[in-house]
Structure 1
Amino acid sequence: MAIRNDKVMPGGQHIIDSFLIPHTRQLEQLYRSDRPAFEVLKQKICDSIFITLKEVNTADSVLRRIIRSHHFQRNLEYMLLIDDISVMFSDLKYVNLYSSKSRYPLIDTAIQTKFGIRIGGTLEVPLPRNKVIAIAVFNAQAYSNRVSFGLYVDIRNRRAAILRLMMPTFLLALFSILSVVFLFFVTFRNWMHQKKLSEMKSDFINSITHEFHTPLTAIIVANKTMQKEKILASPENLRPLLEVVQRQALRLQVLISQVLDITTLNKISLNKEEHSLNGLLDEILLDYRLKLSGSHVRFCLQKDSVRDTVSLDRFWFTTILQNIFDNAIKYNKREEKELAVTTFDDKKGIHISIRDNGIGMTPDIQRHVFDKFYRHIGPNGVTNTVKGLGLGLFYVKQAVEAHGWAIDIVSEEGGEALLSSASRFNIIILHEKTTLAAS
């Protein structure tokens, strides 16, 4: 009300009238007869009005009183602007003396802005949302004047103030987002855990299928052979077959107790005992020959190793050799397949070399042959007729490393293949490595 009942500010109407009323008739005369002189005079009068209003500005005290009476926050800033000044002559028509849309060279440039004449306040940019009041005060009588002005009020550092006000909402939203992310993470982790359990279950089934095949085949073949009248007629012929059945049955028993080790493959537990290497090879080859009864596979065992006693896990050693044999025979397209097993000594230790006449392996295949589920795709798409899960040589690698041995491959595609491994036996006493070679 203090502003609305006056012009610009309390006492502003008196100041404006004190400059305009004495010069109104002169302005009218010049307006009708000498427009350039009218332009000069009106600018000088307006300049004097604006400077005086700025010097005696009472908007600060008015705003403080309003803030105090209405309990507004104290960090407010304002801008008081004059938009337009016009004067009415005898013909009752308003003539413009000042407009914020124009620039005036004779009016102090320090108070001229693109928004109008700044009378007071520290607000930099008057936005429409900050407009508190905009009034045109006039009197519809001859030689009266009209003044349009606006008051803009805003919070000091509006962005920071808004951020402070929004902080609780922002924190709540952030907490909600983090909660959703956390729930998603927990759900995803549980899903990954379930997926891992599913993969372990699948590996478990694949492991059983792969590992149970060899002893079961040997038992079935031995059983069929024992049913022949020629074998039944001679107890001496039954004894080797019964020993095969016993060994393979024991292998199945051990296999059942170790299926979890086969599935995880990171926790292979070894039960090492001292064995005659050459004697053990004789038994493994005998059982494997029985499995391949009727096949065109020729075995050759050459025992050149002087040291014969080794410490190893019989179950896993048998698994290593049988998987290597399986791999050598499956990837062999010759009508007459050959497997040559040789043992020999050197300063590293005892070597077992298993040599075949299969299709061989490229350097790229050699780099991946021990990978889980890797299948050897040889020339002419050999894997189209080869069954398997790609687990055999993976088991070989795991079992070899569990013994502390090493394994490597020497091979050329289309030629002979040599797969070798080096094992360390009885390190403290012998300080030697034993190399296990296979294809």
Structure 2
Amino acid sequence: MKKSKFTYIVIAVVSFLALTSVQAYLIYNTFKLRNDQYKIPEKKIVRERYEREMTNENLFPGAGKIVDRYIENDNIYLLENYYKKDSAQFELLKQRMLDSTWQALTARNNMDSLLTDILQNNDIHETFRYALVLNAIDVAFESNRYIPLYEAGRFYPLLNVAAQKPMGLLIGGNLKKPGRHNLVSSLTLSSTRPYSYRISFSLFMDTDDRTLTILKLMWPLLLLSVLSVLGVVTIFFATYMNWLRQRKLSDMKSDFINNITHELHTPLAAIAVAGKSLRNDRINERKENILALTDVIERQSCRLRQLITQVLDITASGKIALNKSPQSVHQHLEEILLDFRLKYTEENILLELHKDARQAEAEIDPFWFATMVFNLLDNAVKYNTSKDKRITVSTRNNKKQLELRIEDNGIGIPAAVQRYVFDKFYRHTRQEVTQIKGLGLGLYYVKQCVEAHGWDLQTVSPPGKGTLFLISIPLLQ
């Protein structure tokens, strides 16, 4: 049962993970598509104004003079000399030029004020983030023959590491993820004359809540996805609960058969022995013998009827229903031991009853009390390899309780398994135990009876010295 439940749950979890993974993949791809298609109307206004400002400029107003100074005017001839004669010095000078250019551009970047001016002049009040990125710089020593100084995607050790982004060298702005989806303008400015340069740069702009805005546009898809997952989980849970109910019904049927097999044996055996004894001529000579045997048959027949009703109840509910009333424990013990002796007439058993308790009146259910004692006595015989089997049943008073003690000289119960012997269907793996027929239900019924009455049960079993079951029963007040 546990293994099949585990397998069922594992399959369900794997299926659920597969479903959610597919859903997540579809949502992610839908988000990417919506992200690429999402248009900010203000970008057109910004692009037109920005590109107009960049007619005779690059990057931002005033940046052209900075780039001219560091790239074209101060270093271009020295750069040409190193390019032709010393590649290592060319690489070193190139990166130093780029670093000086980047520092000057970031220090004098006025893109913030330009963007603010564009938005205010067009009565746009929404907050935007931007990124101004240098994509590439090439130098030409000869007309239209360009040599790269900076290329986006390459790492330059002498440049600021934080400024080197996948899209290029960050000049200004606080937009964290510039990309094709938030590109405003991408320009390339060049000259056809020798000893000049070509520069490519891009402006990116986006809202603060782009992701949230796109998710809001996707809410029908997200809602449908969540509802479909919840629907699958609900269907699984309903199916799983129905499966558990079916398994419980199946187990109840199995338990019923096992319970009947185990419990019917005792009264049937007593009735069979009593019936056989009635055919004995010597017993029939005395009327009191016949009356005693007919009492046994009547008592055990009544027990059979009760047993069938009780087994049905415990199988259906897993609990036992008690019908308690004030009873004499001693009287019931005498009847139980009389019936038990009839069952084991051919066994060499010394069965003793010591009624040492002065008070023996308690609230008990006669049927379940008999079931409990019968099972303890049965075990005392079955799990006993001694030639002379001794079973002692005794009572004594302890404060406001009646102590019922059932002690035998059997094989005992190892300390390591004493906590398990009251579990349903538990059978120890010792060879002397496995050779004895049984279903592992006897002590389970004992525990059921004790717990239903609210009594206390203790087990004492020293190795090789038999077993003592001590049951504490509250007395009538």
Counterpart pick for 1:401 among 451, 457, 460: 451
Distance 1:329 1:100, change over 3 A: same
Counterpart pick for 1:321 among 373, 376, 382: 373
Counterpart pick for 2:132 among 79, 89, 94: 79
Q: Using the alignment, how far apart are the partners of 2:111 and 2:363 within structure 1?
A: 109
**Range 348-357 or range 144-153, more displaced:** 144-153
Aligned to 2:322: 269
Q: Using the alignment, how far apart are the partners of 2:361 and 2:187 within structure 1?
A: 112
Contact (CA 8 Å) 2:191, 2:198: kept in 1 or not? no
1:117 deviation in Å? 9.3
Select the structure that is richer in helix.
2
The one-letter code matched in structure 2 to 1:355 is: E
Identity %: 34
1:315 deviation in Å? 1.2
Aligned to 2:213: 164
Matches within 5 A, 1:166-185: 166-167=215-216, 168=219, 169-185=221-237
Q: Using the alignment, how far apart are the partners of 1:56 and 1:353 within structure 2?
A: 97
Q: Using the alignment, how far apart are the partners of 2:429 and 2:143 within structure 1?
A: 101
After TM superposition, the score normalised by the length of structure 1 is 0.69
The one-letter code matched in structure 1 to 2:213 is: R
1:9 maps to 2:54: yes
Distance 1:134 1:244, change over 3 A: same
Unaligned runs of at least 5 residues, structure 2: 1-43, 66-71, 83-89, 91-96, 153-158
Aligned to 1:153: 204
1:389 deviation in Å? 1.7
Distance 1:216 1:226, change over 3 A: same
Contact (CA 8 Å) 1:84, 1:98: kept in 2 or not? yes
Counterpart pick for 1:392 among 436, 442, 462: 442
SS of equivalent to 2:132: strand
Matches within 5 A, 1:44-55: none
Write out per-residue CA displacement over residues 377-402 of structure 1, whole angstroms, 9 at most, x where no aligned residue.
Answer: 55xx2112211122212212221233
SS of equivalent to 1:339: strand
Distance 1:329 1:75, change over 3 A: same
Contact (CA 8 Å) 2:274, 2:293: kept in 1 or not? yes
**Range 416-425 or range 143-152, more displaced:** 143-152
1:333 maps to 2:385: yes
Distance 1:250 1:155, change over 3 A: same
Contact (CA 8 Å) 1:83, 1:100: kept in 2 or not? yes
Could you say what the CA RMSD is over the residues aligned between the two structures, in angstroms? 4.8
After TM superposition, the score normalised by the length of structure 2 is 0.64
Distance 1:274 1:143, change over 3 A: closer
Matches within 5 A, 1:185-204: 185-204=237-256
1:354 maps to 2:406: yes
Distance 1:154 1:201, change over 3 A: farther
1:78 deviation in Å? 5.3
Distance 1:98 1:259, change over 3 A: closer
Aligned to 1:437: none
The one-letter code matched in structure 1 to 2:460 is: V
Write out per-residue CA displacement over residues 255-312 of structure 1, whole angstroms, 9 at most, x where no aligned residue.
Answer: 222224433453432231433x443322222211111122222222333333355443
Contact (CA 8 Å) 1:79, 1:123: kept in 2 or not? no
Contact (CA 8 Å) 2:190, 2:197: kept in 1 or not? yes
Matches within 5 A, 1:8-407: 9-12=54-57, 60=115, 75=128, 77=130, 79=132, 81=134, 83-84=136-137, 93-94=143-144, 99-100=149-150, 115=168, 127=179, 134-136=186-188, 147-157=198-208, 160-167=209-216, 168=219, 169-231=221-283, 235-263=287-315, 264=317, 266-275=319-328, 277-377=329-429, 381-407=431-457
Write out per-residue CA displacement over residues 201-226 of structure 1, whole angstroms, 9 at most, x where no aligned residue.
Answer: 33333222222111111112222232
The number of aligned residues is 388
Q: Using the alignment, how far apart are the partners of 1:242 and 1:56 within structure 2?
A: 113
Q: Using the alignment, how far apart are the partners of 1:203 and 1:281 within structure 2?
A: 28
1:367 deviation in Å? 3.3
Q: Using the alignment, how far apart are the partners of 2:357 and 2:81 within structure 1?
A: 127
Aligned to 1:423: 473
Q: Using the alignment, how far apart are the partners of 1:273 and 1:231 within structure 2?
A: 35
Q: Using the alignment, how far apart are the partners of 1:410 and 1:388 within structure 2?
A: 22
Distance 1:348 1:362, change over 3 A: farther
Contact (CA 8 Å) 2:322, 2:365: kept in 1 or not? no
1:419 deviation in Å? 1.6
Contact (CA 8 Å) 1:136, 1:146: kept in 2 or not? no
SS of equivalent to 2:264: helix
